[in-house]
Amino acid sequence: MFDDRSPIYRQIADRIKAEILSEALKADEQVMSTNQYAAFYRINPATAAKAFQHLVDEGVLYKKRGIGMFVSPDARDMLRARRRETFFAEMVDPMIAEAKAIGIPLRDVVTRIEELGGDT
Amino acid sequence: MRVEVEDLVLRYGDVTALDGMSFSLEGGKIYGLLGRNGSGKTSLMSVLAAFRKQTAGRVSVGGRPVFENGEAVRDIALIRDTGEAVTIGTAEDALYFAEWLRPSWDSEYAESLMELFKLPRKKNVKEMSKGQRSAMGVVVGLASRAPLTMFDESYLGMDAPSRQAFYDALLADYIAHPRTIILSTHLIEEVSGLFEEVVIIHEGKVLVHEESEALLSRGVSVTGQAAHVDTFTAGLRVLGERQLGPTKSAMVYGELDAARRRKAVEAGLELGPINMQDLFIHLTGGSS
């Protein structure tokens, strides 16, 4: 997934997604307003609003007219599912490529994973 | 407040500062006005504020011509870097004058800004430091709440913390009292986040007028092995290139679709954003 929308869009979207994944933001909880985000990041409110609109389009947030933006009830499950889909391609594959490039035997990598993973 | 500029020409003697410029601003937004030295920014704003009469063409603000139109001009505030609009006696006098001039003046807000920038009320503005004078201009510009407010490098004399305070105050006040704001600046990276739209002028004409996000999305840096970069950028508009040994980085201007992006990734190229300042530099002819 490549995305060249402005880094500020990504910062806002990533921050909100991370908060949802960590449950700092819970289902149906209200998120800060676009104006509060605009002031925090020192950006135009229209830019912040666009970032929120993308999150609404993705189904991460939903809008209550005149009140604000809220976390979709299934946002966390959806984000987790999406992360799972890209987990191997984005995390594991580059790690294996890096291990090969610098000469770490894959067996060592597996051993490490088993150590850290414990009994799971 | 809507701003319309049509075939605008401004000449000083045999110097043509504005050379048939046309654009229109819908209003109610923060606009960035960017251009190199001598591109015509100050000339344009002087005409918009009716400080100068155009040689030819039309200008209207809120649907009205501005020159020698007192009603229209009351709604237009232009704060210049020299702060000449406020060099009337003491700071208090300057505020008093602005209050008399501006129907939408907010004196409580002006007081809070005076405190924010730690400006002495009794001091003669002409005796203030450059930074204080700039801050005075900012106070008058913001507290005027003019439907069209223009800052022409007004904050150049201010130090970094004061400029940051200005940006925060501007944003907060714009959110509370939306109006048309035009900011002209050379400190592009500091301010670009505040712009909803950007107008880049060059040699007296409009070069780019776009939403900032759209402008930024058009700039992509392509970095990787020189030969691969060259193959990838063939046929694209390349604004500039830099090379370091076998690695090359090219600035491409234009939309890249998903297929092209995939191609870049497959060729081991890295794609990244270009900031507004770099785009500006290269769109107006590079760093020469």
Task: Decide which of B152, B182, B203 is a domain's last residue.
Answer: B203
Helix (H, G, I), strand (E, B) or coil at A65: coil
- Pairing, β B270-273 against β B247-253: unpaired
For residue A29, what are the contacts with CB-CB under 8 A and spacing of at least 6? A70, A71
For residue B220, what is the nearest residue in chain A, using CA coordinates?
Answer: A4
pLDDT computed for residue B85 by the predictor: 59
Q: What percent of chain A has pLDDT over 90?
A: 72
Closest in B195, B256, B265 to A44, CB measured: B195
Asked whether the predicted pLDDT for residue A117 surpasses 50, the reply is yes
Encoded amino acid at A96, one letter = I
The answer to whether B46 and B57 have CB atoms below 8 angstroms apart is no
Give B128-154 pLDDT, tens digit per residue: 888 999 999 999 999 999 999 999 988
Are B83 and B120 contained in the same domain? yes
Give B175-202 pLDDT, tens digit per residue: 999 999 999 999 999 999 999 999 999 9
The answer to whether B232 and B220 have CB atoms below 8 angstroms apart is no
- Say which residue the tokens 């490098």 belong to: B153
pLDDT computed for residue A9 by the predictor: 78
Are B80 and B165 contained in the same domain? yes
pLDDT computed for residue B70 by the predictor: 87
Rounded Cα distance, B7 and A81, in Å: 55
Are B236 and B165 contained in the same domain? no
Rounded Cα distance, B269 and B224, in Å: 5
Confidence of residue B157 (pLDDT cuts 50, 70, 90): confident
Are B122 and B228 contained in the same domain? no
Are B197 and B239 contained in the same domain? no
Residue-wise over A32-65: b if at least 16 C-beta within 10 A, else e?
Answer: ebbbebbbebbbbbbbbbbbbebbeeeebbeeee
Number of domains in chain B: 2
Asked whether the predicted pLDDT for residue B87 surpasses 90, the reply is no
pLDDT computed for residue A2 by the predictor: 39
The CATH number of whichever domain residue B26 belongs to comes to 3.40.50.300
**C-alpha pair distances (Å), A84 with each of A87, A90, B106, B210:** 5, 10, 54, 38
What are the chain B neighbours of A47 within 8 Å (beta carbons)? 193, 196, 212-213
- Pairing, β B180-184 against β B270-273: unpaired
Residues 55-94 of chain A with CB under 8 A from chain B are none
Closest in A2, A8, A38 to B271, CB measured: A2
**B105 vs A: CB within 8 A:** no
Rounded Cα distance, B152 and B280, in Å: 18
What are the chain A neighbours of B191 within 8 Å (beta carbons)? none
Residue B209 lies in a domain: no
User: Which of A9-23, B40-54, B265-279: highest mean pLDDT?
Assistant: B40-54
pLDDT computed for residue A25 by the predictor: 94
Rounded Cα distance, A77 and A21, in Å: 9
Longest dimension (CA), chain B: 67
Phi, psi of B210 (to 5 degrees): -155, 160
Report, as an integer, the average pLDDT of A81-86.
91
Asked whether the predicted pLDDT for residue B84 surpasses 80, the reply is no
What are the chain B neighbours of A9 within 8 Å (beta carbons)? 213
pLDDT computed for residue A1 by the predictor: 33
Q: Cβ–Cβ of A42/B194 closer than 8 Å?
A: yes
Report, as an integer, the average pLDDT of B234-244.
92
Asked whether the predicted pLDDT for residue A3 surpasses 70, the reply is no
Are B97 and B224 contained in the same domain? no
Are B58 and B173 contained in the same domain? yes
**A7 vs B: CB within 8 A:** yes
Residue B68 DSSP symbol: T
Residue B173 lies in a domain: yes
Q: Cβ–Cβ of B172/A9 closer than 8 Å?
A: no
Encoded amino acid at B264, one letter = A
pLDDT computed for residue B89 by the predictor: 87
Are B193 and B219 contained in the same domain? no
pLDDT computed for residue B126 by the predictor: 87
Q: What single string gives the DSSP state of each residue in B156-212? A: TTS-HHHHHHHHHHHHHHHHHS--EEEEE-S-HHHHGGG-SEEEEEETTEEEEEEEH
Residues 174-203 of chain B with CB under 8 A from chain A are 174-175, 193-196
Rounded Cα distance, B201 and B23, in Å: 11
pLDDT, mean over chain B: 92
Rounded Cα distance, B217 and B197, in Å: 13
Report, as an integer, the average pLDDT of B117-132.
91
Residue B220 lies in a domain: yes
Q: Cβ–Cβ of A5/B196 closer than 8 Å?
A: no
Asked whether the predicted pLDDT for residue A109 surpasses 90, the reply is yes
Confidence of residue A6 (pLDDT cuts 50, 70, 90): low
Rounded Cα distance, B245 and B46, in Å: 48
Residue B146 lies in a domain: yes
Are B142 and B190 contained in the same domain? yes
Q: Which of A106-120, B17-31, B163-177 has the lowest mean pLDDT?
A: A106-120
Longest dimension (CA), chain A: 58
Residue B229 lies in a domain: yes
Q: Which of A2-11, B20-29, B94-103, B139-148 has the lowest mean pLDDT?
A: A2-11
Task: Decide which of B146, B174, B203 is a domain's last residue.
Answer: B203
**ipTM rounded to 2 decimals:** 0.82
**B115 vs A: CB within 8 A:** no
DSSP H or E run through A52: helix A45-57
CA atoms within 13 A on the CB side of A87: 7
User: What does the block give as tokens for A36?
Assistant: 């509060």
Helix (H, G, I), strand (E, B) or coil at B131: helix
Residue B208 lies in a domain: no
Phi, psi of B236 (to 5 degrees): -95, 160
For residue B245, what are the contacts with CB-CB under 8 A and spacing of at least 6? none
The CATH number of whichever domain residue B271 belongs to comes to 3.30.70.240
Residue B82 lies in a domain: yes
Domain span at residue B261? 215-283
Residue B142 lies in a domain: yes
Q: Cβ–Cβ of B175/A38 closer than 8 Å?
A: yes
pLDDT computed for residue B265 by the predictor: 87
Are B250 and B140 contained in the same domain? no
Are B154 and B55 contained in the same domain? yes
Are B76 and B192 contained in the same domain? yes
Task: Decide which of B203, B232, B251 is a domain's last residue.
Answer: B203
Rounded Cα distance, B6 and B4, in Å: 6
Q: Which residue out of A1, A4, A12, A43 would a mutagenesis test of the B interface target, given it has the greatest number of B Cβ atoms within 10 Å?
A: A4
